Amino acid sequence: MLLITCPHCGPRAQVEFVYERTVDSVVQPDAEAAGAMEALFARGNPRGLDEELWRHTFGCRAWLILTRHRVTHQIAAIRAVGPEALP
């Protein structure tokens, strides 16, 4: 089980959070371009650190960006984003 430390609520179990997507995964391919379907559905899965967008849905409802290692699942950094972010 993954333990995520919310900046507002402290350490919480992963079940309180909902994974949204990786931060750089917004894909807007040109529908006319060849391979648009491949660009939309075939994503790379590189090893190493990745930034992911999560929401503390069953807690304070804050949006968080987690920097997490894809292989070990170790969390390197957590920061709140949006109106719930700490100044």
CA 5 and chain centroid, separation: 14
In CATH, what class is 3-24+46-84? alpha beta
pLDDT value for 22: 80
- Predicted TM-score (pTM) of this structure: 0.72
pLDDT value for 54: 93
Sheet of strand 49-55, all strands in order from the earlier edge strand to the far edge: 18-22, 49-55, 63-69, 75-81
Q: What are the boundaries of each domain within the chain?
A: 3-24+46-84
**pLDDT tens-digit series, residues 21-57:** 887 755 555 555 556 666 666 666 678 898 999 999 9
Higher pLDDT residue, 82 or 16? 16
